[in-house]
Amino acid sequence: METTALQQTNKTLKLAYPVILGQLAQMFLGIIDMAMVGAVGYKELAAAALVNSVINIPFVLGMGITISVSQLVSMANGQRNGALVSHYLFNGFILSGITAIIIALGLAFGKNILFHMGQDPEVAELAAPYLQLVSWSIIPMMLFMALKQFTDGLEYTKTAMIISLSAIPINFLLNWVLIFGHFGFPRLELVGAGIGTLISRIIIFIALLMVVLRHKIFRRYIIIGKKQWFLQKKTWKDLLHIGIPSSLQVGMESGAFAVSAILIGTIGAREQAAHQIAISVVALTFMVSMGLSQAGSIRVSNTFGRKDFPLLRLIGKTTFITALIYGAACAVLIFLLKDYIPFIFTDDLSVIEIATGLLLLAGIFQISDSTQAISSGLLRGIKDVKIPTIYIAIAYWAVGLPVGSLLTFYFDMGAAGIWIGFIVGLTISAILLSLRFKNISKSKNLKSRYFN
């Protein structure tokens, strides 16, 4: 059995890198959409950005529900209970599908909200059909994510990664054909981008579904479906026990950053542009933290199911140290490149000056950002989700945003004040979550909390 810290770190990294690449692929798809839509016109780009802002929080909340699938599948796999793995697959898939339908219906039939947000009427008009198409695409995307969480929970993270990467050329080709009207197709512009997103998400869902149903690795969980594929109230309770707090955690984080962007936008357009530059860099570095978090969570959940508490604690410790090292490396890299990164996005010297200062602050919070993401994932792996959700709510909404607003508007610190609030909130979250995992992961505490 592998017991050394280095061996456990390597095992976590091996599990994490396909997750990271898959997440980066999804981010790159968004970049492709924005770039190709932007080539049509600035109002189309504004419409796409408006739709992304509207769907972001509901979509993130839905993604949080799918997280419960990997946690329970991993735990059942640790118990060597294939029947329970199959049962969680079915119930998690159905729950994710119903959640996706509710979100899609709410967004599609609520499209008129776009005309009541104080936006340019032409932008809102362009955004409405695009919102409907992207809303319906949430259904295949969440079903894909449910299956991805199943394969990830069994520690086959490369499966979904390969399919996610294949979506990049598919989406690019569909956009090229439908947005600009090639190969005899009409020029559909923004609507074409929406259709391309819908089709590409359907394709990757069907592809992963076929792999799960037919590949020999997963066949043993499928052939027992006749006995295990039934809906059960207790199973849904278990899924929602993890899924709802997970949704709230990611939703509160996304919501805090969305509100911060709105607050900075009230200062001025240059500050908002500089904030967008810094937040884009942070979003990229955070993808790695999220991959490490999910890998650590899956591995902890697996050992938790086996009741191997010393190994669980070692996995947690090594993953946390990896997060510290990664956060420190990102901080150093951002510090070194802060004077150059803004030029990738703009040539406006006033925006560049503001963005350079914000990137300095973004570098400072890298360690806190990475460690809080990993700590919340590790706690999720041992089914501890309620108290961490409260911690995150306090850190972001009771401390981070108020402190940032106070510094920005009362002490006239501009956009930097909001970012200092980020640092304070993230640091509090990282400390509270890491200390909680350290305390709960002691063998006697785990036994008393969950197995007595």
Averaged over successive runs of 10 residues, the pLDDT of the chain (452 residues) comes to 78 90 83 77 75 81 89 91 94 95 91 74 84 93 95 91 91 91 86 92 95 92 90 93 89 83 79 82 88 92 89 93 94 93 82 90 91 93 91 93 93 92 93 93 66 52
Sign of CA dihedral 373, 375, 378, 380: negative
Separation between Cα atoms, residue 263 and residue 97, nearest integer Å: 35
pLDDT for res 1 = 44
Separation between Cα atoms, residue 233 and residue 119, nearest integer Å: 44
Q: What letter does residue 346 receive in the DSSP assignment?
A: -
Sign of CA dihedral 229, 230, 234, 235: positive
Separation between Cα atoms, residue 243 and residue 69, nearest integer Å: 8
| Distance in angstroms between the alpha carbons of the first and the last residue of the chain | 27
Q: What letter does residue 410 receive in the DSSP assignment?
A: I
Pull the structure tokens for residue 297. Answer: 């969570």
Separation between Cα atoms, residue 129 and residue 111, nearest integer Å: 8
Separation between Cα atoms, residue 45 and residue 366, nearest integer Å: 30
**358 touches 274 (CB < 8 A):** yes
Is residue 342 within a helix (H) or strand (E), and if so which, with residue range? Answer: helix 342-345
Q: At what angle do helices 269-306 and 121-153 cross, to 10 degrees?
A: 20
pLDDT for res 451 = 54
Separation between Cα atoms, residue 236 and residue 65, nearest integer Å: 11
Find where tokens 């200390």 sit. Answer: 435
Separation between Cα atoms, residue 371 and residue 437, nearest integer Å: 12
**308 touches 235 (CB < 8 A):** no
Separation between Cα atoms, residue 375 and residue 320, nearest integer Å: 7
Q: Residue 55, by phi and psi: left (phi above 0), alpha (psi -120 to 50) or beta?
A: alpha
